[in-house]
Chains A and B, each alone.
Chain A
Amino acid sequence: MHAFSYERPATLARAVALLEAHGPEARVLAGGTDLIIRLRDGSLAPTVVVDLKRIAELEPGIREADGRLVIGATTVMTDIAADARIRRRFEALAEAAAVVGSVQIRNRATLGGNICNASPAADTAPALLVHGAVVVIAGPSGSRRIPIDGWFVRSGVTTLGRGELVTAIELPLPAAPMGSVHLRRTRRRGHDLASVTLCCGVDASGVTRLAYGSVGPRPVLAVDATGVLADRDAAPDARTGLLERMLAEATPSARSMRASPDYRLAMLRVLARRGVDIATARLAAAEGRR
């Protein structure tokens, strides 16, 4: 491992100052599940590593505030997957968090880290897109919020600027019930990186939100506001055509050895069909409980 200096700021302001001073030479350490691997294999060689784990403002945790669920950026996947509010109202996110890496990885890996690493295969990204998450950012000029669908640029790149870091991810609490699901394809059932990842959310008004990843440089959100996709009585051709259009942004790479492009596209369609069915069924079950 290449030598680097290690900083463990106690305050958010200090962390922002360090990140601003060092720019791309600095890397942030939270769970370390991506960073440490890349330090070890030499694909990253920062001059300074900024450890966020002692910053008081970045204590992990999940709280409700003003009609939103606020997930601290350093909250680990295990806690997200186990949180009763997330399991009840953001089921796709709970399911996505539950399949990140292995048990040991989920005990370390943070939600902030997962979106900042910006892997096209990031398991939580489609769920956050479906649930309409907002990313809360601290930076040299204060705090800002941006919707998650403006966050991912391409593999490894987000809209995060110099000196900025993510402090929380907010999920607007839906007014009406929603059925959602996270599905993915991997090469084996045990822990693995996704070769296709997909979330589907259907709400009571019939709007279907489909988000998918690992089939292009960034995760994609597609919304059907017509209600056709979620309508089991709609003409099959209409639903199929709509689904095709919603999945049209998938551009899997031929260079990946995890799956060929045609297999990924075929599996994306399978997951989308299954996702719509499961989300619709879950919505019906949720409405039945009301």
Chain B
Amino acid sequence: MTRYTLSRLLQGLVAMWVIVTIVFFLARLGGDAAALLAPPDATPEQIAAIRLSYGFDQPLHLQYVDYLRGIVTLDFGQSVSYRQPVVDLVIPAMVNTARLALAAFVIALVLGVTFGAIAGVRAGTRYDQAVRGLSVLGQSVPPFWLGMLLVLLFSINLGWLPAFGSEGFTSLILPACALAAFPLASIARLTRSSVLEIVARDQTLFERSKGVGPATLMSHILRNASLPVVTLAGIQLGAMFSGTIVVENLFAWPGVGQLAIQGIQARDFALIQGIVVVNTFVFVALLFVVDLSYGWLDPRVRAVKSAVKSKVGANVEAAA
């Protein structure tokens, strides 16, 4: 298990490094980065000043080393538009986004798995048809439209919840619901089909032949059905961390999405780079957790690594 964890961690770090490197070169492939950053009516002196302040006058490999050192020490430079270190902007925004994404994720996971599992066990019934219909709806409705409907109903007509802002728990409910609809629907659909497949397997028949109660039977079915759901849930959570732009702007939620929009509008190069790097880190970390939970859920995954090793070892010995 330790070996499995370490190998996954190493893979995650390599992925981080590759992405961060791509980001670095993408920004510098488009010709004169300073000219791109500058407003269209900038004078050559202004462009030269930008070049100097970003270190674009330095040789590329030195820039790259500087850039990597900055990432490792959490120093993404100064934001031009805010006149603050990028870290001080991105981290609080990321915390806000995480609050929103995690709230939406909990809603999506708990309800999605529950609805999907019941639909899978009772396939073909009215309940199943309702879940399938609603999940197609949930996957098709755009979040901004759903968000506006929620605001209209719960804030304007009923006056139960605030329409925007980030004060207190109540202001979290509407954006979290708007954000949860899509992952909820896709988790419900996948859970349903996965449960359906496990129920039809020999192992469920054999389990039932033991005469176990419904709770034991269901725990076997759910654990087996959870393997693909865990992957999907991890990806959905990652997408929620980086893809909350629409919902954050709709509800004036001070998260990374809003910050990114402002950074793009202000051509705030360092800020955007900082956001991309932090988002990448969050995504890779989430996939690492997904991989770990896979090893925890499925003993065969834990075994693969050492089995391959010993097989290769045996072949080498046989050859020698």
* A and B: interacting chains: no
